[in-house]
Amino acid sequence: MSPTIKLAFLLVGVLLMIVVGVSVGPSGSDLGIWLSAARDGGQVDRIILYDIRIPRVLMTIIVGGGLAMMGAAIQGLFRNPLADPALIGVSGGAALFAVGFMTLGVTSPWLAILGVPGFAFIGGLLTTYLVLIIGQRGAGVSGVLLAGIAVNAVTIAGVGLLTYMTSDQQLRSVAFWALGSFNGVTWGNLGVSMVIGCAALLVLREHRCLNAITLGESQARHLGINVRWLQVRIIIYAALAVGVGVSMVGIIAFVGLVVPHLVRMAIGSNHRVVLPGSALMGALLTLLADTLARLMIAPAELPVGLLMSLVGGPFFVWLIVKQQKTLGI
């Protein structure tokens, strides 16, 4: 079966999950809500459908697809199937600034208007910039990788310190945000999330360069590719996409790690199909996880990040075991 046909199957799967995601929920688990929303008397159903479910499903597609595509790009850049966007520090930086906003309080009205999403986005960009500055002193891509691991460790420690200082009410808010959830997504949030779509389009243009760098940095340079500039571009695109995603819905773990690897096993290693395939599969799995999160303990819901971690954690262990010889561990 050709990669194009496999991508078509993934696209059909995403479209089917969109219908399922919009049609089911605690307030209704069948297509009747569509019919009710179309009638004059279905005001409540119209609100549920157009103001709650549709924005949520669209945000799930954008964030899940964006995280998976950036994970594929980062893995290609580092030539390591165990890499993911968290290694460049963006997730940790976004979490640190978001938790700082929720726990320390902001007195300036100009800063307060940014809210948790604004602070998370700024934190992700700043930590990514720091990783780039430190990584330039290292040896190629490995320098950025090591810098990202170090900065990410510091940000996680900062999040732990701030969490330790919080009150019980603040701790609940921090914990719910950190676990990741698409609850409360609005049409306004979708407008901001278009940054993820723009970053994804820019990454798609880099598929030839990513294919070349998988052969090695020296071979890529012989092919006329500026490896350093490619490294900067990919990391900036990932920072934009992941920073906006984390700022909107919190931390959705393992999407950028698990999905690209599954796509490579199913489709191949050509980034021309790996990147769009990762976006489609990331959207599909995140839609599935979000739908299950809304239904498993309805009318309450589980955090999506928690479900993804429950699946991604065992897969990560399996991946390490599978890659022992390749990674030398």
- The three state secondary structure string of 35-102 is HHHHCCCCHHHHHHHHHHHHHHHHHHHHHHHHHHHHHHHHHHHHCCCCCCHHHHCHHHHHHHHHHHHH
> Is 242 part of a structural domain of the chain?
yes
Higher-confidence position of 328 and 65: 65
The answer on pLDDT for 140 being more than 80 is no
The pLDDT > 70 percentage for the chain reads: 88
The answer on pLDDT for 36 being more than 70 is no
Mean pLDDT of 231-239: 86
- Of the candidates 56, 24, 234, the residue with the CA atom closest to the CA atom of residue 145: 234
With residue 168 as reference, give the H or E element that holds it: helix 168-179
The answer on pLDDT for 102 being more than 90 is no
> Is 206 part of a structural domain of the chain?
yes
* 76 contacts 209 by C-beta, under 8 angstroms: no
Confidence bin at 141 (pLDDT 50/70/90): low
The answer on pLDDT for 135 being more than 80 is no
Q: Domains in the chain: how many in total?
A: 1
> Is 207 part of a structural domain of the chain?
yes
The CATH number covering residue 243 comes to 1.10.3470.10
pTM: 0.86
Mean pLDDT of 211-239: 86
Q: Tell me the residue range of the domain where 77 lies.
A: 3-324
Give me 69's structure tokens. 């595509």
Mean pLDDT of 20-35: 66
> Is 329 part of a structural domain of the chain?
no
> Is 241 part of a structural domain of the chain?
yes
Mean pLDDT of the chain: 82
Confidence bin at 22 (pLDDT 50/70/90): confident
> Is 73 part of a structural domain of the chain?
yes
